[in-house]
Amino acid sequence: MNFILYPLVTILVFCAMEGVTWLTHKYVMHGFMWYFHNDHHQPGYPHVFEKNDFFFIIFAIPSILLFYFGAAKGLNVLFFVGLGILLYGIAYFLVHDVLIHQRFKWFKRTNNKYLKGLRKAHKIHHKHLGKEDGECFGMLFVPKKYFNM
């Protein structure tokens, strides 16, 4: 039974992380923790690392704790919740930092309609340099209109 349940938990958590990311981005990053996110909205930020990278640590801590407590006495559901968070973090890194912001030059050119749509939605998000008036706070699921532009 667990061989079906645990992968399902991982997939559900991965999908739920998009909602967590949207809420965190809109209300935390563009809210009371703007200090850590504001450099990310400044064009041509010259450093390899940004204060915004602090959020990778914030999201990694629950995943690490869930791995620890989920593996402490044999694998349990907590481990697979942590795995879902980790897999979303990897996807976020590949989409946000590699594909969109080109912090690593791995996928410089793509003709994939989905990836182009993600890139367009994020550009719309970044047209606002301040924390107000933002839009497109999601990462992997963005409004359909960005795929048709």
- The whole-angstrom separation of Cα 28 and Cα 23 is 7
pLDDT at 149: 63
Distance between start and end Cα atoms, the chain: 45
The confidence band for 71, taking pLDDT boundaries of 50, 70 and 90, is very high
- Cα gap 108→24, rounded to integer Å: 28
Kindly report, residue by residue over 15-27, the tens digit of the pLDDT. Answer: 999 999 989 988 9
pLDDT tens track for 82-109: 999 999 999 988 887 788 777 777 767 7
